[in-house]
Structure 1
């Protein structure tokens, strides 16, 4: 038995050959156009998310607020926000672009920041390198605590840093094979020579909700975790450009 066309007009092709086609999660009847196949709801209560709201979401992603919190603040649906954020993180570049003014000696500080994905049993280390003079993040790699990850951190640096920069690190032995030109100088916290990178680690903990200790906000997928780290890096560097 065929369904009779329901009242309404297709918003895509203006055809009146529209039939009922189930209902939404909140009980509103869905319709489908027999001419073009478009599925829609008559008189929908949810309007398209505006460019202003998307811009606000982009800024809120740089602060310590969960996705649930962002959905409440911006009054967008949870499912829409998940899709929007996942697509944005997937498009985020995994490399830093910096313009260096060679006015003095290039010095970088390196350190690792522990995090996890889905479960604390799945530890993930965020390797970071910061320019001591500009305070910008110039390198990053998300992986384990092996020498391979240390080399990947080095490979993420812009070429000028690989060729010219002097490196300060902690005593983690993986750094010994990082630089092909000279071994990084391992120093203790008491020297103050890695203060900037250690302060940066604290900034990550304070502003990226996925990295807050004892928090319900955490990544369930590694690619989203990596994307969130890089998204913050680009936002952090952009803020320094505005100073």
Structure 2
């Protein structure tokens, strides 16, 4: 049987730092990629000399080129297992890769998207769930706060298409306040803001942005006719809309949420976790958070928007170049 580690003399003599012996051979690498040596003294033992600096993937030994391919598949709507079949990278490794890259992307977004000059912002929420839907969670008595319905709050600038802030939580006053606080940090100057009719928004906007926004809500009324079986799988019919100014002097012509709702479609198309009627939904809250950060970093910095013919970050003046997936890993 072939041995995993085959003794090989080092190119230059190496002295064991433990016992001082020079009877040393190379003995593979440790999990961090550092050269490991075997000391053949009376009591054989292994040691490493200099540990390499951690790469863009931390302690993961997955090649950066392979990681780039995996992440590119994920942001184009592939599931974890689809990416596994295409690349040969195990699904557990893909999940671990996402857990490493997601927080890096979130830090990058927090650093780059702040104090952005905006004029017209739209905000909305998109529904998803983690592990099980809320009705199943109630029926089974599950009290875990990180399972069940998961709402993603999103704010987008109408002209540049830049996603200014996002937040994963519930449709509560606390989460709405946290989201609007993020939007406050991401923007500067006075602008018009339009949200949907969520009752938690007016107080949060008044507290964080009341002094520099012309704010209105667009309230849509949906029909509930489910008499035809196919209606169950179709969007509800809008039977009425109401433009409701809240404070400031919002331009009635600009009271609109169409652009952020189009971003919701982009999320469902490019994130398998949010595609309806599949089994690709998130099983862990942290993985959904990481996937959202990866999606928005790629959307803002890497993906050329056909309407504006550049990336949203370029249109907003956040950066001057089109980023690649490798740039996200190295940032």
TM over 0.5: yes
Separation in 2 of the partners of 1:167 and 1:197? Answer: 12
Deviations 1:123-173 (A, max 9, x none): 011011000110110011111101111111111125463652221111121
Q: CA deviation at 1:69?
A: 1.0
Give the equivalent residue in structure 1 for 2:167: 141
Separation in 2 of the partners of 1:68 and 1:230? Answer: 20
Question: What secondary structure sits across from 1:119 in the alignment?
Answer: coil
Deviations 1:99-133 (A, max 9, x none): 7775xx71100101011111112001101100011
Give the equivalent residue in structure 1 for 2:58: none
Out of 67, 86, 89, the position equivalent to 1:54 is: 67
Count how many residue pairs are aligned between Structure 1 and Structure 2. Answer: 213
Change (3 A) 1:162 1:141: farther
Residues 194 and 218 in structure 2, CA contact (< 8 A), matched pair in contact too: yes
Out of 186, 206, 209, the position equivalent to 2:217 is: 186
Change (3 A) 1:15 1:143: same
Give the equivalent residue in structure 2 for 1:228: 291
In the alignment, does 2:260 pair up with 1:211?
A: no
Out of 28, 36, 41, the position equivalent to 2:46 is: 36
The TM-score normalised by the length of structure 1 is: 0.76
Out of 88, 96, 105, the position equivalent to 1:83 is: 96
Q: Could you list the runs of 5+ residues in structure 1 that have no partner in the other structure?
A: 18-32, 39-47
Change (3 A) 1:50 1:7: closer
Residues 178 and 184 in structure 1, CA contact (< 8 A), matched pair in contact too: no
Query: Over the residues paired in the alignment, what is the CA RMSD in angstroms?
Result: 3.1
Give the equivalent residue in structure 2 for 1:130: 156
Q: Could you list the runs of 5+ residues in structure 2 that have no partner in the other structure?
A: 8-26, 29-35, 49-60, 135-147, 221-240, 244-254, 304-310, 315-321, 324-331
Change (3 A) 1:6 1:81: closer
Change (3 A) 1:218 1:6: closer
Out of 40, 64, 76, the position equivalent to 2:77 is: 64
Out of 107, 110, 114, the position equivalent to 2:123 is: 110
Separation in 2 of the partners of 1:138 and 1:7? Answer: 51
Write out the 4+ residue segments of structure 1 that deviate beyond 6 Å after TM superposition: none
Separation in 1 of the partners of 2:91 and 2:40? Answer: 32
Deviations 1:29-63 (A, max 9, x none): xxxx951289xxxxxxxxx6432212212222211
